[in-house]
Structure 1
Amino acid sequence: MLHVALWEPEIPPNTGNVARLCAATGTRLHLIGRLGFRLDDRSLRRAGLDYWHAVDVVRHVTFEDFERAMSEGPTPPVPLPGGRGEKEPTPSPSLQGGEQDLRSSVASRESQEADRPVTPSLQGGGWGVGCPSGRANGLRLWCVETPAERAYTRANFADGDCLLFGNESSGLPPSVRERYAERLVGIPMLTGAVRSLNLATAVGIVLYDALRRLHDW
């Protein structure tokens, strides 16, 4: 299984279309940080919330929570209401309105797993730049960003990899781009007439190419 992660997405239809893409491909969707919309927003519903019950979606309050969850391996973080396994999609508060509840959920999960050995975080030698193989428990992170010297077609995608995309207005934070510089890839734009591609379009291009290679389509 592949993972797609969105850092603080801002535009509801983009996230809705990415969610539909993930539902169609069996890809786990991670939403990280402060969202620019409520998950029960009418625009998000039009863009793909009808399929929300089929999406394997998880929510991370901070980027550190995301890193920790990925490095810990097979145990997923607390899922969003209305994700896979629920019959009907239920409204979920935005981070602005439910940050305390989300932090409580994360804290509860961490308390339940307190007896499990924890893999070090990126800064402590996990799958950051200091780890040449870029692996932690078999999982790798690829940052898809513009500009990038390396095209996504040069990435060696493997089962379990995570494709991380920045938000629509500013992309990924500089600290994340620097930390994962060895796995920073981009989508070539031949004319130079635009600054970047639409988020959902970019996810579709890279995700389907990774799937094509993994499944030998």
Structure 2
Amino acid sequence: MFRIILLEPEIPQNTGNIARLCASTGIELVLVGRLGFSIDDKHLKRAAMDYWEYVNVKHIKTLDEYFEENNNFYAISTKGHKNYTEITININSKIDILFGSEGAGFPNFVYEKYTDRLYRIPMKTESRSLNLSSSAAIVSYHLLYKLNFPNLF
């Protein structure tokens, strides 16, 4: 399966929506770095509704710590050169789908060092970006489709 990794998420409603997505699909959620809100934030809990208790969530303190432990990931970015539909996955895959923060995206070294792992969601050139929770849902459901929606009805 795969995990959704959020680097320093800033907006509690986005993280709450993604938590609800993860709870509803069995995808693990990993929060990396400084959070722009408290896990007890009312907006986070409102967006996640009563799903928060069903989310398998982990927190990793820094991006460096994440990279020390994980090397099988795809990063979703407007600076990606490949389409997210090109991500390779099978039922035995253990991959991460990494999303940058809403305001800053990824640190520059990610764009430089991991160019081959940057994927994008196609959109009109005049659009700056899609909403983080929408992007996570688009990519997640595409990958779940490729896996024939395991354990989902």
Same structural fold, with TM-score higher than 0.5 when normalized by the shorter chain: yes
Unmatched runs of 5 consecutive residues or more in structure 2: none
Distance 1:143 1:166 in 2: 8
1:6 and 1:216 map into 2 onto residues whose CA distance is 22
Give the whole-Å Cα distance in 2 for the aligned partners of 1:68 and 1:149: 25
2:40 corresponds in structure 1 to: 40
Separation in structure 2 between the aligned mates of residue 175 and residue 68 of structure 1, nearest angstrom = 15
Measured in 1, the distance between the counterparts of 2:33 and 2:41 equals 17
Matched to 2:63, the amino acid is F
Query: What is the aligned partner in structure 2 of residue 145 from structure 1?
Result: 77
Q: Distance in 1 between matches of 2:125 and 2:118?
A: 19
The residue type paired with residue 57 of structure 1 is V
Aligned length: 148
Deviation at residue 178 of structure 1 after TM alignment: 1.9
Larger radius of gyration: 1
2-structure distance, mates of 1:65, 1:3: 16
Deviations 1:163-205 (A, max 9, x none): 000011121111112222111100000x323200000000000
Aligned to 1:186: 120
1:195 partner amino acid: R
Match in the other structure for 1:160: 94
TM-superposition CA deviations, 1:54-105 (whole Å, max 9, x none): 00100011112222333xxxxxxxxxxxxxxxxxxxxxxxxxxxxxxxxxxx
How do residues 18-97 of structure 1 correspond to structure 2 at under 5 angstroms? 18-70=18-70
- Secondary structure of the residue aligned to 2:59 is strand
2:128 is equivalent to residue 195 of structure 1: yes
Following superposition, the deviation at residue 216 of structure 1 comes to 6.7
The equivalent residue for 2:138 is 205
Instruction: Give the distance between the partners of 1:56 and 1:180, measured in 2 at CA.
Output: 27
Q: Which runs of 5+ in 1 are unaligned?
A: 71-126, 128-139
CA contact (8 A) 1:145 1:184 kept: yes
TM-score (norm 1): 0.65
Alignment identity in percent?
43
**Is this contact kept in 1: 2:80–2:115, CA < 8 A?**
no
Structure 1 residue 40: deviation in Å? 0.5
CA RMSD, 1 decimal: 1.5
- Structure 1 residue 147 displacement after superposition: 2.3
Between Structure 1 and Structure 2, the one with more strand by share is 2
The amino acid that maps onto 1:23 is A
Please say if residues 76 and 120 of structure 2, whose CA atoms lie closer than 8 Å, have aligned partners that are also in contact. yes
- Check the 8 A contact 1:143/1:177 in 2, yes or no: no
For 2:103, what is the secondary structure of its paired residue?
coil
Sort the Cα spacing of 1:28 and 1:195 in 2 relative to 1 into closer, same or farther, 3 A.
same
* Off by >6 Å, runs of 4+ in structure 1: none
Q: What CA distance in whole angstroms lies between the structure 2 residues aligned with 1:164 and 1:197?
A: 15
| TM-score w.r.t. length of structure 2 | 0.90
Structure number with greater CO (CA < 8 Å, separation at least 6) is 2
1:3 corresponds to which residue? 3
